Amino acid sequence: MSKLSVCVYCGARKGARASYTEAAEVLGQGLAARNWRLVYGAGDVGLMGTVARAAQEAGGDTFGVIPAHLVAMEVGKADLSTYVVTETMHERKKVMLMNADAVVLLPGGAGSLDEFFEALTWRQLGLHDKPIFAIDTDGYWTPLMRLLTHVVDEGFADASLFDLMQVVPDPGAALDAIADHGGT
Ligand code: AMP
Q: Which atom of ligand 1 lies at the shortest distance from residue 74's CA? A: 10
* CB-based contact 149:155 (threshold 8 Å): no
183 pLDDT band (50/70/90 cuts)? low
Q: Is the CB of 159 under 6 A from ligand 1?
A: no
Q: If you take atom 7 of ligand 1, which residue's CA is the nearest one?
A: 111
Give the model's pLDDT for residue 99.
98
* pLDDT at residue 182 is higher than 80: no
Q: Which atom of ligand 1 lies at the shortest distance from residue 11's CA? A: 4
CA distance 110 to 103: 17
* pLDDT at residue 2 is higher than 90: no
Give the model's pLDDT for residue 86.
98
Domain that holds residue 102: 5-180
CATH code of the domain covering residue 106: 3.40.50.450
CA distance 112 to 74: 14
Give the model's pLDDT for residue 1.
56
Distance 1 CA to ligand 1 centre (A): 31
* pLDDT at residue 66 is higher than 90: yes
| Pick from 180, 181, 179: nearest CA to 31 | 179
Give the model's pLDDT for residue 6.
98
Q: If you take atom 5 of ligand 1, which residue's CA is the nearest one?
A: 111
Q: Is the CB of 15 under 6 A from ligand 1?
A: no
Torsion (CA) 171, 173, 177, 178 in degrees, nearest 10: 20
* CB-based contact 97:65 (threshold 8 Å): no
- Tens of pLDDT along 94-149? 999 999 999 999 999 999 999 999 999 999 999 999 999 999 999 999 999 999 99
Torsion (CA) 10, 12, 18, 24 in degrees, nearest 10: 40
CA angle, 89 as apex, 144 and 165 as ends, to 5°? 30
Q: If you take atom 12 of ligand 1, which residue's CA is the nearest one?
A: 111
* pTM across the whole model: 0.96
Average pLDDT, the chain: 97
CA distance 79 to 96: 17
- Alpha-helix runs per DSSP H in 5-162: 18-33, 46-57, 89-98, 110-124, 142-153
Q: Is the CB of 41 under 6 A from ligand 1?
A: yes
- For the chain, the domain total comes to 1
Give the model's pLDDT for residue 139.
98
Give helix 110-124 / helix 89-98 axis angle, nearest 10°.
60
Q: Is the CB of 89 under 6 A from ligand 1?
A: yes
